[in-house]
Amino acid sequence: MDENKVLWNKCVEFHGHSCGGLTIGYKAALYAIELLDLKLGGGGNAGCLSADEEIVCISENDACGVDAIQVLLGCSIGKGNLLFHMRGKQAFTFFNRKTGKSVRLLLKPKPEGMTREESFAYYQSTEPKEMFDVTDRKLPLPEKARLFDSYVCECCGEVTGANWIRLAGGKKLCLDCCETYDRFNV
């Protein structure tokens, strides 16, 4: 099996099925690897990005394709290098923290009137550079995840970070309690 087939199978295994949407993310990730001069196969992790490459992805949708980006580029929510700017667009911005390079890939419209199966076959057989328009990034490189001081909500008693505390009626409230408080005041 060639290397790309191995990579594709990894994506399908993670995502749970193969589909056109997964193919879009898969091709976007391969294109990002090429455009940002990333290297695959480091650290015995064949086919996936080597651990010292620091790639950040901002996805403009939360559809199937994001799963392929997680698998191929090692972007994840927990690591803080997978972020969402929800616009419902098939667009992805990739940053290489090491080099400062970035690129935004926007899916081109596919030929009209295709069935699900036809569009899957179309995306599978189309080269990434034919599939995406490369546009300048619109968003800045996100800062690294910050740590916030913790506070106890004076309503529910649960602990949350400073960024999620609101002052309402002289009390420090978590966002859930703050919303409840607002509702009772209308």
Chain residues that interact with Zn ion, rule: CB under 5 A: 19, 21-22, 64, 153, 155-156, 174, 177
CB of 56 to Zn ion, least distance (A): 23
- Rounded to whole angstroms, the Cα distance separating 85 from 144 reads 16
CB of 69 to Zn ion, least distance (A): 13
Q: Would you tell me how many other CB atoms lie within 10 Å of the CB of residue 11?
A: 22
For tokens 């619109």, name the residue.
138
Residue (32 or 174) nearer to Zn ion, CB:
174
Helix and strand numbers (H, E) in the chain are: 6, 9
CB of 179 to Zn ion, least distance (A): 10
Residue (73 or 177) nearer to Zn ion, CB:
177
Q: Would you tell me how many other CB atoms lie within 10 Å of the CB of residue 59?
A: 25
Residue (64 or 75) nearer to Zn ion, CB:
64
